[in-house]
């Protein structure tokens, strides 16, 4: 499954701890059917342009898709390992 993201809102904000200004980017992660699977926010320095923010969001969703694929692959590996463990347990001590 390939996920996409959709920016819901972007606003200027200021950090309480040091007063630094940043863009607060609010976005949803969508599945292939367009259903929202996660709601996320990321902050970017106020000095960056839209091109940089878009590039970073593309990197984010690419990494997100890779993580989800790895998790799916690991499920398959775990299932295979459980089967293999059963075969090994059944074969141990086999005599013919």
pTM: predicted TM-score of the whole model, two decimal places: 0.76
**Element of type H or E holding 27:** strand 21-30
If one counts every other C-beta atom within 10 angstroms of the C-beta of residue 29, the result is: 19
Residue pair 3/37 in contact (Cβ under 8 Å)? The answer is: yes
Strands ordered across the beta sheet of 4-14: 4-14, 21-30, 36-45
pLDDT band at residue 34 using 50, 70 and 90 as cut-offs: very high
CB 46 within 8 A of CB 11: no
What pLDDT, on the 0 to 100 scale, is given for residue 74?
A: 87
Q: Which of the pair, 92 or 65, is modelled with greater confidence?
A: 65
């Amino acid at each position: 499954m390939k996920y996409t993201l959709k920016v819901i809102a972007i606003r200027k904000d200021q950090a309480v701890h040091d007063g630094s200004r940043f863009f607060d980017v609010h976005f949803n992660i969508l599945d292939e059917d367009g259903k929202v699977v996660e709601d996320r926010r990321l902050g970017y320095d106020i000095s960056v342009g839209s091109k940089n923010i878009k590039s970073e969001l593309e990197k984010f969703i690419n990494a997100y898709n890779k993580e989800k694929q790895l998790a799916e692959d690991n499920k398959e590996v775990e299932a295979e390992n459980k089967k293999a463990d059963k075969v090994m347990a059944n074969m141990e001590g086999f005599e013919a």
